[in-house]
């Protein structure tokens, strides 16, 4: 039913399928509409459960000073490398190997103002799932946290995801490919299955909400 390039248990798929069938039956929606809604719920849950980095990279005060004695020596733990050109080299620079970078500054406050220390792409992994939903015209709710520039993060996220879908007939599917090298670390080994289960719960919640809302309008509540 849903393939996000990880294994999902039959039980979790069964829960989501049951919610989808109930959505179609009780709300009078087509199977394709129900499937689309289920996909949106899963993507929303997956985005919410994806780890978001803090505002700054890991900083260590070594206790040492520069030769002049005016500045302190700090070590920044980072994967970022400034590329020589833009485009693919710039995007690849976010996903290098971990390394230590030395920065000299008067104090911690000054260090945190350095571009190399600020995680401008915080929230990229979480936003990538939403970008996938937007490619498939699936409305996914939520906001990106701790992003220095949300517009840049959202634009960048679209470059890292592939999206295929079919909401018609018997062969309905959503296939999402996420090319971020650290995406598995960000979502955790069981996050996708948890998102499928949470998506099912969210589907049932929406069904109850819509039924109650319709009943209130007709004066039956």
Domains of the chain: which residue ranges? 2-52+122-218, 58-111
Q: Mean pLDDT score of the chain, rounded to an integer?
A: 76
Chain segment 161-198, per-residue pLDDT in tens: 777 777 677 776 777 777 776 676 677 667 788 888 99
Examine the pLDDT at 144 and tell me if it is beyond 50: no
Confidence band, pLDDT 50/70/90 cuts, at residue 86: low
Q: Is 33 helix (H, G, I), strand (E, B) or coil?
A: helix
- Residue 72 φ then ψ, to 5°: -95, 155
pLDDT of residue 74: 93
Q: Which residue has the tokens 């970078």?
A: 101
Residues 6+ apart with CB under 8 A from 100: 75, 76, 77, 78
The model's pTM is 0.61
What is the chain's length?
221
């Amino acid at each position: 039913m849903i393939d996000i390039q990880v294994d999902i248990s039959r039980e979790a798929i069964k829960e989501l399928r049951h919610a989808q069938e109930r959505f179609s039956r009780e709300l009078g929606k087509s199977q394709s509409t129900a499937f689309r809604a289920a996909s949106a719920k899963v993507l929303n849950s997956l985005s919410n459960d994806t780890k978001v980095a803090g505002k700054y990279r890991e900083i260590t005060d070594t206790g040492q000073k520069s030769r002049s004695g005016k500045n302190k020596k700090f070590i920044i733990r980072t994967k970022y490398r400034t590329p020589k050109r833009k485009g693919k080299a710039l995007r690849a620079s976010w996903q290098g190997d971990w390394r230590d970078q030395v920065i000299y500054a008067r104090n911690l406050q000054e260090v945190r103002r350095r571009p190399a220390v600020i995680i401008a792409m915080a929230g990229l992994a979480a936003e990538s799932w939403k970008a996938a939903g937007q490619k498939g015209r699936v409305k996914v709710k939520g906001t990106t946290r701790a992003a220095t520039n949300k517009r840049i993060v959202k634009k960048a996220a679209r470059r890292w995801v592939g999206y295929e879908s079919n909401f018609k007939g018997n062969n309905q599917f959503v296939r999402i490919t996420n090319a971020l090298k650290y995406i598995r670390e960000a979502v955790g080994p069981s996050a996708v299955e948890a998102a499928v289960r949470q998506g099912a719960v969210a589907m049932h919640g929406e069904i109850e909400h819509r039924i109650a809302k319709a009943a209130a309008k007709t004066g039956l509540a």
